[in-house]
Chains A and B, each alone.
Chain A
Amino acid sequence: MLSRRLFTQSAAGAAAGMILTACGPKRLYEAPKDRLKAAIADLERKYKERHGKAIEVSDAGPIPGVHFAYALDISRCIGCRRCVYACVAENNQSRDPQIHWIRVLEMEKEKGVDFSHANPYYNPAEVPQEGHFYVPVSCQQCENPPCTKVCPTGATWAEKDGIVVIDYDWCIGCRYCMAACPYGARHFNWAEPTIPDSEINPDMHYLGNRPRPKGVVEKCTFCIQRSRAGRYPACVEVCPVGARKFGNILDAASEIRYIIEHKRVLVLKEELNTAPRFFYFYAT
């Protein structure tokens, strides 16, 4: 009798444990801190083995009182695409097949900001070209993101500091978010991504530039590994004409606040009510 009761109790305990585990946090990022730390240590070991160098994966959370925003000066941008390649290097984007988080569109001055006449494959000997201007587009970090709403597994969401992130270990690769994004900002790993070991950026974030597997979606994170550590995104640093501005929109003294308050600012596809945190402006 006693042994039967013992059996019943332990079976019930095991079942309850299983259900609790199953009902617990799905995304590792939301797991208890110690579990996340252990998983990250595992990741670091795995990446080190694969790429042959010490790698640090941060799990830094949003900083209270910080809300990131970005502004890009269309009148300054010369279309040199240095931001595109700085982004690739910083964020460990696949070299083959090639993935670019930033897409620079060449537009005609006569037509204005008009996507139906934009050319992303411009390739002249020198930029800027007469009669043209350039509009780099990456994730607009919308306040009302259509992409996170549609995700069937909740693998992508907006963080408290406004950065829209993806859990690469939870994404099932259905690409519904790509259909929903009005800015072509989301990119899919159509094959196993390849990056030469020597070019791996070892300074990583769990929700940012750690290497992605094949079959999942990725996108710009405002260089979450940098911005949460108080640094500028790589594209801001590399821009030779200073067209890219970045900062905390809640800080009244910040440059980004000044631009939004004093310049002629626009957002892309305003009518879709996505409320981008990425602004375009004309400084001159």
Chain B
Amino acid sequence: MPRETAIDSIRLIGGFARGSAKLMLRGNRAYWLWLAFLGALIVSGALAYSGQVRFGLGVTAMRDQVSWGFYIGNFTFLVGVAAAAVVLVIPAYIYNWKPIREIVIYGELLAISAIAMCLMFVLVDIGRPDRFWHLIPPFGFLNFPRSVLAWDVIVLNLYFAVNLVVAAHILYRAFHGKPYIKKLVVPLVLLSVPMAVGIHTVTAFLYNGLAARPYWNSSILAPQFLASAFCSGPAILLVVLQLLRRFTPFEIQDAAISKIAELMAYAMFLNLFLHGAEAFKEFYSNTQHLLFTRYWYFGVGSHHTLVPYAWSAVALNLAAFALFISPVTRHNPITLNIGCLATYAGVYIEKGMGLIIPGLTPDTLGEIYEYYPTVTELRVAAGIFAVGFLLFTLMLKVAVPISLGEFVDKAKAAAAQDAAIAGAHTAQ
């Protein structure tokens, strides 16, 4: 008997994999154009990265003075996106709020794609990617618990695994027409809530713990990371959900969308408030540590590279807050989407350009080296985003039909139909 079960489960998994592959290979013109676009970006990114591996990180604009840049900025932003799934999980499972519960799975798929991108951004940033195994015990050595980076490696991978297991399990069971196993899913989902907070807190502590960098060495950093993450993650998800609603028969209630938008308004308020609190402390006390904040908002001397980014981030965040807090603009699909784009762009600029670079400018000995990403960095980053979007697209391609009940195990469905017919016969 156990032998048969094993064979059976291999058959079942095989069926799921084959079916999924078939789904991914089916699509209209727009789908293939989208894949081709992502493919082109991936090829371009891979070529740029191979140049970087051959020559060294000198092809980036990073130097000893600004030793982290665009890659680590993107990494930080995406950790926030990954943490966003929690915004949906909390109301869905804790308050059992049905309209959101159905779309939680998409939050989890988004988290999986985002963490995959995070790990890739770290990999392209390190000088010796060939030695990444030095981090993995027992072959390598992980400096745990002393190094916060070691903590980050652990929590990011755990969070990745938890989301992957939950999403795969729910989809796999749905494919075979069975409900998911509650004993497995509910604890894992509940675990993913503190873990989502954990990954972003640990990532904030990564910078926060460095006394050498006063711009980061502020206890407001972790709460501010969380607040901005609860804006940017749902912003992406809202756009994706609307696209799904438009192009598939998948039903998503307006109530779910406007609830998420409302939550984003609160998160954005908190984000703006924390920024304001930090700005007050810096400008009013006016110590030497003000230099970093001043470099971001006003520039220092003749160095103004980041100033336009700083103010566009402020403007975008304020606009998004205004659009989400007012019920009229929140319920209007056009203003809602403008708000989403503004949030995404605002937080992306704030994390991508406004966190890492001013933290390192001026450097510890007072030198101002103006960092601005090179074409190689932009190409590699675009390539990584393309891999992430590709992953997300392919997962959606499988998940949507399963949620709709269109993509189910044929053998099971046929058997169910036979049983129904037999039932009908006996009834007669």
Residues of A whose CB lies within 8 Å of any CB of B are: 19, 22-23, 26-27, 97, 103, 105, 114-118, 120, 137, 146, 149-155, 170-176, 178-184, 186-192, 213-217, 272-273
Contact = CB atoms under 8 A, between A and B. Distances in A.
B126 A174 contact: yes
Contacts of A272: 211-212
B129 to A, nearest CB: 8
Contact of B139 (A22, A97, A103, A176): A22
Contacts of A105: 365-366
A154 B141 contact: yes
A146 B212 contact: yes
Contacts of B209: 150
B58 A152 contact: no
A214 B67 contact: no
Contact of B362 (A116, A172, A179, A182): A116
Interface of B: 55-58, 62-65, 67-68, 122, 125-128, 131-132, 134-135, 137-143, 146-150, 153, 206-207, 209-213, 288, 291, 360, 362-367
A118 B126 CA distance: 30
Nearest 5 Cβ contacts at the A-B interface: A173-B127, A215-B127, A115-B366, A190-B58, A182-B212
Contacts of A149: 146-147
Query: Which interface residue of B55, B210, B213 has the most chain A CB atoms within 10 A?
Result: B210
B157 to A, nearest CB: 13
A177 to B, nearest CB: 9
A116 B303 CA distance: 14
A179 B207 CA distance: 8
Given A149-B147, A189-B56, A179 B212 contact: yes
B364 A215 contact: no
A159 to B, nearest CB: 17
Given A190-B63, A191-B55, A155 B134 contact: yes
Contact of B127 (A19, A137, A216): A216
A179 B125 CA distance: 14
B148 A184 contact: no
13 contacts: A22-B139, A118-B366, A149-B147, A152-B149, A172-B132, A173-B128, A174-B126, A174-B127, A175-B67, A181-B212, A184-B65, A188-B64, A192-B56
Contacts of A150: 146-149, 209-210
B212 A215 contact: no
Given A103-B365, A176-B149, A191 B58 contact: yes
